[in-house]
Structure 1
């Protein structure tokens, strides 16, 4: 696991998207300083600063985590995509990737 030295999700993005930082336990290894946010309007959908294995996401990106057929899975997501996506578009991304 790598240590997070910079945050990928700035306060403006957090506010714009409506993310809520959570300390709810999820079935994933999180990088020590990485934050996990719940995504508004969709249950058990998270935006993370590390992937499910504790690897810090590259600058300008985040990890969209959600429950698939066999547990928590996710997808690499650019922060700009997150900022510009509607709830419906996020829902479609989840449906297209939920087979795992």
Structure 2
């Protein structure tokens, strides 16, 4: 993991709960996120987002030529991140997961 990623996780650890920026699933600590193979950050074009749970990472992302996680081309521009406001266009698609 890069130093930038570790620094991000350390900042989030001070906040407490860490939530996936795509589906909203949460873990209680940095250690739990690392154990569950979360991506601390990723790119959609030049825009940095994060974190992302292992499920969203494996389904929606790939490693780029620089070793950074990026959204697969077929999903670019189609994901609504939880930290962004909804546009009022009437079409909404939400992705979620339920774990028992």
Question: If the length of structure 2 is used for normalisation, what is the TM-score?
Answer: 0.32
Bigger proportion of residues as strand = 1
**Which protein shows a greater Rg?**
2
Question: If the length of structure 1 is used for normalisation, what is the TM-score?
Answer: 0.32
Bigger proportion of residues as helix = 2
